[in-house]
């Protein structure tokens, strides 16, 4: 099982989430290509203090506004209130410190923060009004996410909701207490001591009895196993959570959960801006929806400038722009080693030349153009000698199965991206030097037609493993 995406329902998706989504989807496909049975799953972090924050802000500032009334996409609408909460929180903290409170005290006593904490307790108690507001606002976010997921091609076989799994987590905490894995402090909070394993003491339940982040993860780990008896549980989660995942696995082992040793954290690096890390709360994020729109727009400009598809219908054009725009974006995010952090400079938009998605797509379209005019004839003899550039292509093509296996064993789609680029490069070099249609002999022509078919198949299959479509013409 590959768990990926895992959004919070308090803000829209950004570029970092896109890396996660593309990576998770691609890893799942690569594993399938190696014969594994794969389930794609998603845990929606739909409850918790962060959700309450946007709910509080909506109550305070919205005056009943809705996504419909403001004509805003639902996830963006709710995200605005998450930002408003943090603005108000900062303002209140400043006010309190100005009146003589220490910063630490002010952060705990700010009225909006107290209100959010109270709301979380009310939520866990099942307060009717709180639950109703929660459902309403999450509903808005889901409507927004649905659009984004459809755009970027993310899909899931199973979606889990934290609001369903946290109770199982809390039950496991109870069990752990009786087993002596966890201990309760004087104030009622529950802890696990991992100092013997080189880590720290970690809280698993707050003194007010509400659950923390890791509580639901423990519950989910068990639930996944009980439902599907999975033998490998891959979590596609950012490397900022390395410690958290280490703790999760350790706790699972100490609790004796049946699948503890199958938990694997596919840790990927953050996408950073030249100015540093993206922060939702400070508005320094590259929004996922904006990014998609921009890429398709850039694809349109390039396509129009080249003027090769003037006979396309409006629908065909729209679909082509999406194919190229998304191809450029996915390839860009998947071509580097997932474990490494990467820097994205919004000033320099994603390239369409060189080591890019459109380069590979272009090579494919070029080959299809040849094959529309002529296809190999199985009856005719094939040249039995290979020129250097023909041999180069064949040599590359032969590596495909090994590359797929390698990508699977490393859970690394960049292996595929690099490979597919080199195949395309080899074909283009050949293409500039030799002609297929006007080959020196009929045998040569047959050979080259077959090479073309094989190359186009490898490119198409390889790109599919990255979640990228290839166009017949561009």
Residues numbered 242-261 forming contacts with RNA, rule: CB under 7 A = 242-244
The vertex-382 CA angle with 379 and 388, nearest 5°, equals 160
Nearest-approach distance from CB 63 to RNA, in angstroms: 26
Query: With contacts defined by CB under 7 A, how many residues of the chain interact with RNA?
Result: 76
Report the site for RNA in 269-328 (rule: CB under 7 A).
Answer: 270, 274, 276-277, 299, 302-303, 306, 308, 324
**Per-residue tokens: 318:** 């729209």
Contact 417, 331 (CB under 8 A): yes
CB nearer to RNA: pick between 187 and 378: 187
Task: Please report whether residue 66 would count as binding RNA according to CB under 7 A.
Answer: no
> CA-CA distances (angstroms) from residue 55 to 130, 142, 197, 283?
9, 15, 39, 19
Q: Which two tokens stand for residue 178?
A: 């009786």
Closest approach of Cβ 99 to RNA, in Å?
22
* CB 243, min distance to RNA, A: 3
Query: Shortest approach of RNA to residue 35 CB, angstroms?
Result: 23
Q: Answer yes or no: are the C-beta atoms of 296 and 282 closer than 8 Å.
A: no
Task: Fill in the per-residue mask, 172 to 201: x = in contact with RNA (CB under 7 A), - = not in contact.
Answer: -------------x-x-x--------x-x-
For the bound state, the minimum distance from the C-beta of residue 385 to RNA, rounded and expressed in Å, comes to: 19
Nearest CB to RNA, comparing residues 38 and 271: 271
Q: Convert residues 322-361 into a mask of x (bound to RNA by CB under 7 A) and - (unbound).
A: --x----------xxx-xxxxx-x--x--xxxxxx-xx--
Decide the pairing of beta strands 40-44 and 183-184: unpaired
**Helices (runs of H) and strands (runs of E) counted in the chain:** 17, 10
The residue within the footprint of RNA, chosen from 110, 192, 436, 465 (CB under 7 A), is: 436
Residues numbered 150 to 169 that lie near RNA (CB under 7 A) are 162
Q: Which two tokens stand for residue 410?
A: 């490393």
For residue 20, give Cα distances in angstroms to 246, 270, 329: 19, 9, 13
Closer of 258 and 276 to RNA (Cβ): 276
**Cα separation of 377 and 445, whole Å?**
10
The nearer residue to RNA, 60 or 199, going by C-beta atoms, is 199
For RNA, the closer of residues 76 and 425 by Cβ is 425
| CA 84 to chain CA mean position, Å | 26
The C-alpha atoms of residue 367 and residue 170 are separated, in whole angstroms, by: 58
Q: Nearer Cβ to RNA, position 117 or 262?
A: 117
Please, which of residues 210-249 interact with RNA by CB under 7 A? 212-213, 239-244
Cβ closest to RNA, residue 108 vs residue 232: 108
What is the bridge-based pairing of β-strands 190-193 and 183-184? antiparallel
> How crowded is residue 381: how many other Cβ atoms within 10 Å of its Cβ?
11
Residue 370 lies near RNA (rule: CB under 7 A): yes
């Amino acid at each position: 099982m590959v768990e990926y995406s895992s959004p919070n329902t308090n803000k829209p998706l950004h570029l970092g989430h896109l890396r996660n989504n593309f990576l998770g989807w691609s890893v799942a496909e690569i594993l399938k290509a190696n014969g594994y049975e794969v389930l794609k799953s998603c845990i929606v972090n739909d409850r918790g203090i962060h959700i309450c924050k946007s709910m509080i802000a909506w109550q305070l500032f919205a005056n009943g506004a809705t996504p419909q009334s403001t004509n805003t996409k639902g996830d963006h609408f709710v995200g605005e209130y998450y930002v408003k909460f943090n603005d108000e929180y900062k303002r209140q903290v400043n006010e309190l410190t100005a009146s003589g409170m220490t910063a630490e005290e002010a952060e705990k006593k700010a009225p909006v923060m107290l209100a959010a904490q109270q709301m979380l307790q009310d939520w866990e108690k099942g307060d009717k009004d709180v639950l109703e507001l929660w459902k309403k606002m999450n509903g808005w976010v889901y409507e927004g996410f649905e659009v984004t997921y459809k755009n970027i091609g993310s899909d899931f076989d199973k979606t889990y909701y934290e609001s369903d799994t946290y109770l199982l987590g809390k039950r496991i905490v109870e069990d752990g207490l009786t087993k002596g894995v966890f201990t309760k402090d004087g104030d009622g909070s529950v802890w696990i001591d991992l100092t013997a394993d080189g880590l720290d003491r970690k809280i698993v339940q707050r003194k007010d009895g509400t659950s923390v982040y890791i509580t639901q993860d423990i519950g989910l780990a068990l639930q996944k196993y009980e439902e599907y008896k999975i033998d490998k549980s891959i979590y596609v989660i950012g490397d900022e959570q390395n410690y958290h995942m280490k703790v999760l696995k350790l706790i699972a082992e100490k609790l004796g959960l049946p699948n503890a040793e199958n938990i694997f954290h596919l840790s990927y690096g953050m996408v950073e801006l030249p100015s540093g890390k993206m922060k939702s709360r400070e508005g320094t994020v590259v929004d996922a929806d904006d990014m998609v729109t921009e890429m398709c727009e850039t694809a349109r400009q390039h396509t129009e400038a080249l003027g090769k598809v003037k006979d396309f219908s409006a629908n065909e054009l729209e679909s082509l722009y999406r194919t190229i725009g998304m191809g450029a974006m996915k390839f860009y995010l998947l071509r580097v080693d997932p474990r490494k952090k990467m820097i994205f400079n919004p000033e320099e938009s994603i390239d369409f030349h060189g080591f890019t998605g459109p380069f590979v797509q272009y090579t494919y379209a070029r080959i299809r153009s040849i094959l529309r005019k002529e296809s190999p004839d199985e009856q005719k003899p094939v040249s039995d000698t290979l020129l250097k550039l023909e041999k180069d292509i064949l040599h590359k093509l032969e590596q495909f199965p090994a590359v797929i296996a390698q990508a699977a064993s490393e859970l690394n789609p960049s292996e595929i991206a690099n490979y597919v680029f080199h195949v395309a490069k080899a074909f283009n070099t050949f293409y500039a030097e030799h002609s297929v249609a006007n080959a020196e002999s009929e045998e040569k022509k047959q050979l080259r037609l077959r090479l073309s078919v094989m190359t186009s198949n490898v490119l198409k299959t390889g790109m599919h493993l990255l979640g990228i479509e290839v166009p017949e013409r561009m």
